[in-house]
């Protein structure tokens, strides 16, 4: 038997076949075209899943489940997407609409949770009893896995780690609060800090890596740091301080076996982790107990597909 995982993104819908060894054996994608009605997007997800079955010469009876990782707040018990910030899902029951296309059981969960689950089953956290995955992209996504199960709260809205406040009355966050970890540790926050440093320091070598402010990205400050630029070092030091604060909070709350870092900023890999560890080691609770490992995630974009396929397990 195989399962199908679907990763619903704002740009693309990616789907894949996952075998019993938790290996992704086939995948394909289509554009999301997110301005359309939700029912049309769900139709495309169903048709994508069915085309995977046909193209791999399977029958629907050979597929045990379809799992869907969705952005936003998802009720895993009912299959309802309660709200997505950038797609037209408002109290939309995906499971019921899927029944118009196939009788294969359908399971739904948050996309960040699904990515964490994928890493727990088949990635950098395989073999661990507990893991937290943090994605450092436009926002800060979080997924908490205990004994291979997602911790999502009684209402499906748990695990939003990016929205713990680390600076009271700090920078505004898209969620409506101020001072959220996401406002400081996302690529968006890093870009904001980099631009501010460049405007303050017109002599900075940062301008060589981004000749205009519009060209600044999540790598710019790190590139400047490696080039020995003092302004870039200030930016990275500040960014690492905020990121380490949030990671230390997570360790102190969950004491997970491993924290995985994914997303665009995490492509800095061990270089970033080596900057984080001294501050985390200073501030973590429980100096005499085994330490949480900080590791890069390893499945990349496939984590969401594999994890979605595991939602029915």
* pLDDT number for residue 157: 84
CB 16 within 8 A of CB 309: yes
* pLDDT number for residue 179: 97
How far apart, in whole angstroms, are the C-alpha atoms of residue 22 and residue 27?
14
What value does the mean pLDDT take over residues 132-158? 91
**268 vs 157 pLDDT, higher one:** 268
* pLDDT number for residue 233: 98
* pLDDT number for residue 155: 85
Confidence band, pLDDT 50/70/90 cuts, at residue 301: confident
* pLDDT number for residue 156: 82
**Pairing of β 258-262 and β 140-146:** unpaired
Tokens describing residue 294: 């900080």
Handedness of CA 180, 182, 188, 194 (dihedral sign): positive
CB atoms within 10 A of CB 19: 13
Collect all residues with Cβ–Cβ distance below 8 Å to 257 and sequence separation of at least 6: 125, 128, 129, 130, 131, 292, 293
**Orientation of helix 230-254 relative to helix 187-200, angle to 10°:** 150
How far apart, in whole angstroms, are the C-alpha atoms of residue 181 and residue 178?
9
* pLDDT number for residue 10: 86
**How far from chain centre, in Å, is Cα 115?**
6
* pLDDT number for residue 164: 96
Instruction: Give per-residue pLDDT as tens, 22-41.
Output: 999 999 999 999 999 999 99
How far apart, in whole angstroms, are the C-alpha atoms of residue 73 and residue 55?
32
CB 305 within 8 A of CB 22: no
pLDDT at 262 over 90: yes
Tokens describing residue 296: 């890069």
Q: What residue spans define the domains of the chain?
A: 2-120+302-309, 128-296
Q: Domain spanning 128-296: which superfamily?
A: ATPase, nucleotide binding domain (3.30.420.40)
Instruction: Give per-residue pLDDT as tens, 196-233.
Output: 999 999 999 999 999 999 999 999 999 999 999 999 99
What value does the mean pLDDT take over residues 63-84? 93
Query: What CATH code is assigned to 2-120+302-309?
Result: 3.30.420.40
How far apart, in whole angstroms, are the C-alpha atoms of residue 191 and residue 188?
5
* pLDDT number for residue 64: 97
How far apart, in whole angstroms, are the C-alpha atoms of residue 153 and residue 244?
25
pLDDT at 306 over 80: yes
What value does the mean pLDDT take over residues 80-98? 92
Instruction: Give per-residue pLDDT as tens, 169-201.
Output: 999 998 899 999 999 999 999 999 999 999 999
Domains 2-120+302-309 and 128-296 share a fold: yes
Task: For residue 246, report the phi and psi dihedrals to the nearest 5 degrees.
Answer: -65, -40
Cα angle 181, 183, 186; round to 5: 85
CB atoms within 10 A of CB 278: 11
pLDDT at 86 over 80: no
């Amino acid at each position: 038997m195989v399962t199908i995982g679907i990763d619903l993104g704002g740009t693309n819908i990616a789907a894949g076949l996952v075998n019993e060894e938790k290996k992704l054996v086939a995948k394909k994608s289509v554009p999301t075209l997110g301005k359309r009605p939700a029912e049309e997007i769900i139709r495309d997800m169903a048709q994508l899943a069915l085309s995977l079955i046909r193209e791999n010469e399977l029958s629907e009876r050979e597929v045990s489940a379809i799992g869907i990782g969705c952005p936003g707040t998802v009720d895993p018990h009912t299959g309802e997407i309660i709200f997505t910030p950038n797609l037209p899902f408002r109290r939309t029951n995906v499971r019921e609409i899927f029944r118009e296309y196939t009788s294969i059981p359908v399971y739904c969960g948050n996309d960040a949770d699904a990515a964490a689950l994928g890493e727990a089953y088949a990635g950098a956290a395989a073999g661990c009893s507990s893991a937290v995955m943090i994605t450092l992209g436009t926002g800060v996504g979080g997924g908490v896995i205990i004994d291979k199960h997602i911790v999502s709260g009684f209402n499906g809205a748990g695990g939003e780690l990016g929205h713990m406040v680390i600076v009271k009355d700090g920078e505004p966050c898209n969620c409506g609060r101020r001072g959220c970890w996401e406002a400081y540790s996302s690529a968006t926050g890093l870009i904001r800090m980099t631009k501010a440093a460049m405007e303050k320091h017109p002599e900075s070598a940062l301008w060589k890596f981004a000749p205009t402010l519009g060209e600044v990205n999540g790598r710019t400050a790190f590139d400047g740091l490696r080039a020995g630029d003092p302004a870039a070092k200030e930016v990275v030091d500040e960014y690492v301080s905020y990121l380490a604060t949030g990671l230390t909070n997570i360790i102190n709350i969950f004491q997970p076996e491993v924290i995985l870092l994914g997303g665009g900023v995490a492509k800095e890999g061990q270089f970033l982790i080596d900057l984080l560890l001294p501050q985390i080691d200073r501030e973590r609770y429980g100096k005499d107990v085994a330490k949480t490992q900080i590791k890069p995630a390893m499945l990349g974009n496939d984590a969401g597909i594999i994890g979605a396929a595991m939602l029915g397990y």
